[in-house]
Amino acid sequence: MNHIKIDPDRQLGNINPHIFGGFAEHLGRCFYGGIYEPGSPLADEHGFRKDVLEALSRLKMPIIRYPGGNFVSGYRWMDGVGPVEDRPARPELAWETIEPNHFGTNEFIQFCRKINTEPYFVVNCGDGDMREARDWVEYCNSSQETALTKLRSQHGFAAPHNIKYWGIGNEVDGEWQIGYKTPQEYARAYKEFAKVMRWVDPSIKLLASVVSNWNAEFVERTQLLLDHASEFIDYLAIHWYVGNPENDFARYMTVSEIFEERISATEGLINAMKLQRNIRRPIAIAVDEWNVWYRARGNTLEERNNLEEIYNLEDALVVAMHFNAFIRHAQSVKMANIAQIVNVIAPIFTNREGLFLQTIYYPFELYSRTCGNIALDPFWKGDTFSAGDHSALRTLDVSASLNEAEKSLTIFVVNRSQTDALETTVSLESGVFAGDFQAHVVNGPDIKATNSFDKPNQVGIQKAVLTAERSQLNYTFEPHSVTALICPLS
């Protein structure tokens, strides 16, 4: 028997809805042939695929990072504005293609408006310079009469876009990046970029790219950045990708510990530096690229860098465990962006005729639509498992949230057992349940189940209504499932 105890008064902090963010890069068929396909019978009058917009809207992503990724470290934003026929095609070094620049800043803003999301831009701190970065802020956000704002008006956008979130560089800690930087080089560059960008628009929030290469000197890197530039840092951005290359389900299910280690280490570094340097301003964590990624390669030369992964049910469980970690660390993780959103390592997969929703789409939809605004601190105990370097991990992976406006709890549970249904009591430490509760379950026939154009519904969400007794409910979590129990309080 498993037991989960929830006290609605044991609150960890506000959950920032930005933890349900996304990331869209000029890469493969994310934009061209995915989100944006002018001339397609499925596209609207601006060239956006209506079926893709609808599927994305269901995910309720409040923020989307753009335009890269590795792509941004060689990107010239000026190439992507103005009349499409005048825009230059350029060799794209990160993913070895030609970038036609038919999609750019203003198309992205239109896209964001269509799906009611907020843009988060990353500037080129690879082969780009400060001038280019601050010009982009001016082009997007200024309301003064300048050459760049006139240009924006000529491009059809008289009003500023008011882009609030700006990242400086992408994965600058990796040798694979155009313009890789040592910790010293980045700390210095970051501050100078940040200074001029803030001088152009003092209201912007800035994100520093701190760790993607967890085998390198990330402690020194974080320390140097906070030493040099803390007054310009609103978020420290970290990245990771996980997978199950050994095809060992139990071991894969221990990835929750990687998330815990990396988030806790970053929290610790921030707290230590704040104490040592008497930094009083808040500095949050943004996990602004995360996902499952097996490094799939296309079959042809053109498709070799399309990164078109097909996800299975076990990957969906891992996506859910990410959200549990973000909710349990809601005090520090204020943004997270699944990488990516369409076709490229993504929950939505298109062809010219339509799309299907991958397994990982469903936990995303479930969490973003049912999560409350306050993170709670649940206690749970029961069955355990051991795998890899980990022993006695709890088989259930749990997070809980309170929706203050609706007076209800949402308890998210991943059952990491491949075989066992786990009987569980959920008890309230204070207050009582209002009666009926809903169980929304993501599951499929087995852990390797995938969705496809032929079989689009192998993995999906099932819903049931059940009854709670005063301060206790009993529920049996299906093997290899993700469940949200949505429980109104009286």
Is there a contact between 317 and 416 (Cβ–Cβ < 8 Å)?
yes
| Interface with ligand AHR (CB under 6 A), residue from 340, 401, 417, 424 | 340
CB of 295 to ligand AHR, least distance (A): 10
How far apart, in whole angstroms, are the C-alpha atoms of residue 402 and residue 375?
6
CA dist list (Å): 279 to 18, 193, 227, 275: 24, 21, 10, 7
Q: Please, which residue, 68 or 378, has the CB nearer to ligand AHR?
A: 68
- Tell me if residue 289 is catalytic: yes
Q: Which two tokens stand for residue 168?
A: 């400086």
70: contact with ligand AHR by CB under 6 A: yes
Q: Does 288 bind ligand AHR (CB under 6 A)?
A: no
Report in angstroms how near the CB of residue 353 gets to ligand AHR at its nearest.
26
Give the residue with the Cβ less far from ligand AHR, 262 or 440: 262
Q: Out of 69, 80, 169, 378, which residue is the one contacting ligand AHR (CB under 6 A)? A: 69
Binding of ligand AHR by 68 (CB under 6 A): yes
CA nearest to 435, candidates 361, 488, 359, 377: 488
Q: SS3 letters for the chain?
A: CEEEEECCCCEEEECCHHHHEEECCCCCCCCECCCECCCCCCECCCCEEHHHHHHHHHHCCCEEEECCCHHHHHCCHHHHCCCHHHCCCEEECCCCEEECCCCCHHHHHHHHHHCCCEEEEEECCCCCCHHHHHHHHHHHHCCCCCHHHHHHHHCCCCCCCCCCEEEECCCCCCCCCCCCCCHHHHHHHHHHHHHHHHHHCCCCEEEEEEECCCCCCHHHHHHHHHHHHHHHCCEEEEEEEECCCCCCHHHHCCHHHHHHHHHHHHHHHHHHHHHHHCCCCCCEEEEEEEEECCCCCCCCCCCCCCCCCCCEHHHHHHHHHHHHHHHHCCCCEEEEEEECCECCCCCEEECCCCEEECCCHHHHHHHHHHCCCEEECCEEECCEEEECCEEEEECEEEEEEEECCCCEEEEEEEECCCCCCEEEEEEECCCCECCEEEEEEEECCCCCCECCCCCCCCCEEEEEEEECECCEEEEEECCCEEEEEEEEEC
Size of the site for ligand AHR (CB under 6 A): 9
From the list 64-72, 378-386, 423-431, 475-483, the region that binds ligand AHR by CB under 6 A is: 64-72
The question of whether 171 is a catalytic residue gets the answer yes
Q: Which of 25, 138, 289, 314 is catalytic?
A: 289
Tell whether residue 337 is a contact of ligand AHR (CB under 6 A): no
Q: Among residues 230 and 340, whose Cβ is nearest to ligand AHR?
A: 340
Min dist. Cβ of residue 34 to ligand AHR (A): 14
171 lines the binding site for ligand AHR (CB under 6 A): yes
Q: Which residues contact 153 (CB under 8 A, 6 or more apart)?
A: none
Cβ closest to ligand AHR, residue 176 vs residue 199: 176
**Residue 170 binding ligand AHR, by CB under 6 A:** yes
Rounded to a whole number of angstroms, the minimum distance from the CB of residue 450 to ligand AHR is 20
Residues with Cβ < 8 Å from 265, sequence gap 6 or more?
Answer: none
Binding-site member from 138, 289, 314, 397 for ligand AHR (CB under 6 A)? 289
Nearer to ligand AHR, 150 or 297 (CB): 297
Select 69 or 80, whichever has its Cβ closest to ligand AHR.
69
Query: Judged by CB under 6 A, does residue 237 bind ligand AHR?
Result: no
- CB 122, min distance to ligand AHR, A: 9
Length of the chain in terms of residues written: 490
Q: Which residues pair with 481 in a beta bridge?
A: 415
Scanning 46-54, 65-73, 187-195, 355-363 for contacts with ligand AHR by CB under 6 A, the matching segment is 65-73
Residue nearest to ligand AHR (CB): 69
Least Cβ distance, residue 340 to ligand AHR (angstroms) = 6
Stretch that binds ligand AHR, among 67-75, 188-196, 378-386, 408-416 (CB under 6 A): 67-75
342 binds ligand AHR (CB under 6 A): no
Quick one: which of 78, 168, 287, 339 contacts ligand AHR (CB under 6 A)? Answer: 339
Q: Among residues 20 and 477, whose Cβ is nearest to ligand AHR?
A: 20
Task: Indicate which residue of 25, 99, 171, 309 is catalytic.
Answer: 171
Applying the rule CB under 6 A, the residues between 30 and 49 that interact with ligand AHR are none
- 21 makes contact with ligand AHR (CB under 6 A): no
Using CB under 6 A, pick the residue from 4, 6, 25, 451 that binds ligand AHR: 25
Cβ 317 to ligand AHR shortest distance, Å: 21
What minimum distance in Å lies between the beta carbon of 192 and ligand AHR? Answer: 22
Query: Measured between alpha carbons, how far is 273 from 292 in angstroms, rounded to an integer?
Result: 31
Q: Which is nearer to ligand AHR, 290 or 367 (CB)?
A: 290
CB of 290 to ligand AHR, least distance (A): 10
Interface residues toward ligand AHR, by CB under 6 A? 25, 68-70, 170-171, 289, 339-340
Catalytic residues: 171, 289
